[in-house]
Structure formats: C-alpha cells, structure tokens
Amino acid sequence: MKAQVLKAYDEKLTADQWVSMEDVPDPTITKPTDVIVRIGGAGVCRTDLHVIEGVWRPHMDPNGNALLPFILGHENAGWIEAIGKDVENLKVGDPVIVHPKISSGTCLACRRGHDMHGDGKFPGLDSNGGYAQYLGTSERNIIPLPRTLAPKDVAPYADAGLTAYHVIKKATRHLLPGDRCVVIGAGGLGHIGIQCLKAMCAADIIVVDKSEASLSLAGKCGADHLVKADGNEVEAVMSLTNGQGAEAVIDFVCEHGTTSKGLAMTRPMGSYYVVGYGEDVKVPTVDLVITEKNIIGNLVGTWADLYELMALADRGLVNLTTVEYKLADANQALKDLHNGKIHGRAVLIP
Ligand code: ZN
C-alpha cells in the first residue's frame, strides 16, 4: 500500500519534507481480534507536528530512534476491510471511526473504561498510523458510524473531537445553570468543545481568543460572550463574572501565557482544565491552598466518549469544518497547519 512515512525527527520544523510517500507492506491480521480498516480519511493534527518535532520522543521513543520509521496519523476513519476470526460484531464494508489508542482490554485501566491509559500501542505516535491506505487495529477500538456520517467528514473526531468532548463531559458534570464556563482558544478543538458545551449544559459560555475569525466561529458555535485576547482578557472575564471568575476554565491553548491568565480567570473552588500543551503551569502552592482551585489534566478520551460524540454528531448538535487534501499532499497539509493556513481540520484522503 501507499503510506506517508516519518523517517527522521525535525526539532525546528525547517525541513522541506517531513514525511515521504512510500510503498510499504499492507497491515496483516496477526491476532484473532485484529481488524484492518480501509482509510476513508486521516485527520492532520498539531500533535503530528509535535511528533515530528520529537516532543513525544522522551515518552514514546526513550531509547533514541528505535521507533523510526513509522507512519503518522492518529485520527482515522474508514471502512472495515478485514477481520480476525474472533471478531463477531463487525463486517467487511461497515463505516467506522477508530479510537486512537489500541487498548488491551484486560489491564485495570481498560476494565475501568479508561482506554487511553491502558496498555497498548498508539498508532501514529508509536507505531504505524493512518496516513495510509490501510490501518491495522483491534476490534476494541472500532466504533461503527451512524449512517448520517461519512468517514472522511468525521476522522478528526477520533482525537481532536474526542479530546474536546472528554474535557467538556468532565466540566459539564459540575456546571449548573447560572454557572460560567470560559473556553480559551476557539480553534480546531475549541470550536468542537463550545458545541459540546452548548449541547450538554446550560452554563454561560465565555470564549477568549486573539483571532477575530476564531471569535466569529465561536459565536456561530453558540458562545454567549466573546472576549478578544488583547492583554485585558482577565479583566474582561472578571467583569463578566461579577469579579469572581468562572466556575470552569477550559484552556485549549496552554501556551503564550494563557495558563497564568486561565488560572486567574478561575474562581475559588473552580476548576482549570489543561488541554493544550506547551508551557509550564506555575502557581504558588499557597494560592491553591487558599482558593482550593483545581488543576485538571486531560488526555484524549475513552471509547464511550467517542461513541457519545458520534451520537451528538449524528443528531447534528456538533459539526466539524474540514479541508481535504490528497494523501500524496501530506507535507503540504502539515506545512499549511504549521503556517496557520487551515481553518477547520485538514483531512488526508488516500
Ligand atoms: Zn490529533
């Protein structure tokens, strides 16, 4: 099959080409519960750029370059191409979306439903992913798609959407009508998160972003208040919240100083959710003691989260804007993402 292969890390992201299109062996069924998916669309994600930069290397590839070469792509959807002999509830041709983490199913984390913390590979981060014609995965990772949803239109939900849904689900379990929720960053994840918030709770939604285009998108997604990140965004949020701050602040950026501002926008006993990554969270411990603020990390989501997100998409409560590229143009899609030229989410079509 054809696939886009990562052969070398590029810390400064200055190389002309990051992945190369090659003929590689097709994935094969090796376990009776294995599934092979014919890719209909593979989302192009900022995490792919971070993988190329080597940000994930200390976690995924601590012994040097042992992982390389491998195929990028962790946001995958398509159709069932082949199934192992023990797979009972899927058939060839079914449209599906793929949970990004291959979970064992037998470790404690999996048994508790925390698929993303289970043992097993993370295709596209530590093994062959979906920038390809076919992807090898396991039946545990497959979510059948409702008939209203085409694989190429939903692929980015597999990680970007799932991450947004996961954090919003956590927050909405505590957000009551009359509470305030701040969303920092209305980009690829943020605009899905705002729609999930709107669908799942009655809190007042305040969106903070430095881009007018993103704020306008946030308005269309259901934000109640739009705040331009012009240096006075903390004051603006405080005045919208009677000087108290918001019960929940969800930070999809976590770079360029948003972490200290996000914590400042969080009211005492409120929660600050870390979704984006890049800078360190710095906070005096005495401040946390006095205010009893919570700082909460978030890592993709569970199989059930992705199932629930597909139910929201099926009902038209969450919509995704995608830009299509041919698989052969993966480098262009990655460059466009790096250069801030993609509005919505890029999807590679083999
Ligand atoms: Zn992603």
Ligand 1 center from residue 100 Cα (angstroms): 9
Task: Name the stretches of the chain with pLDDT < 70.
Answer: 64-65
* Interatomic CA distance for residues 107 and 120, integer angstroms: 10
For the whole model, what pTM was predicted?
0.93
Map the chain to HEC letters. CEEEEECCCCCCCCCCCCEEEEECCCCCCCCCCEEEEEEEEEEECHHHHHHHHCCCHHHHCCCCCCCCCEECCCEEEEEEEEECCCCCCCCCCCEEEECCCCCCCCCHHHHCCCHHHCCCCCECCCECCCCECEEEEEHHHEEECCCCCCHHHHHHHHCHHHHHHHHHHHHHCCCCCCCEEEEECCCCCHHHHHHHHHHHCCCEEEEEECCHHHHHHHHHHCCCEEEECCCCHHHHHHHHCCCCCEEEEEECCCCCCHHHHHHHCEEEEEEEEECCCCCCCCCCHHHHHHHCCEEEECCCCCHHHHHHHHHHHHCCCCCCCEEEEEHHHHHHHHHHHHCCCCCCEEEEEC
Ligand 1 center from residue 2 Cα (angstroms): 21
Ligand 1 center from residue 235 Cα (angstroms): 32
Backbone Cα Rg of the chain = 20
pLDDT at 321: 86
Ligand 1 center from residue 45 Cα (angstroms): 4
Ligand 1 center from residue 47 Cα (angstroms): 5
Ligand 1 center from residue 85 Cα (angstroms): 31
Ligand 1 center from residue 275 Cα (angstroms): 12
pLDDT at 270: 98
Which domains are delineated in the chain? 2-158+319-349 (3.90.180.10), 162-297 (3.40.50.720)
CB 253 within 8 A of CB 279: no
pLDDT at 57: 81
pLDDT at 65: 66
pLDDT at 158: 97
pLDDT at 64: 66
Ligand 1 center from residue 300 Cα (angstroms): 9
CB 193 within 8 A of CB 185: no
pLDDT at 278: 83
pLDDT at 171: 98
Ligand 1 center from residue 242 Cα (angstroms): 36
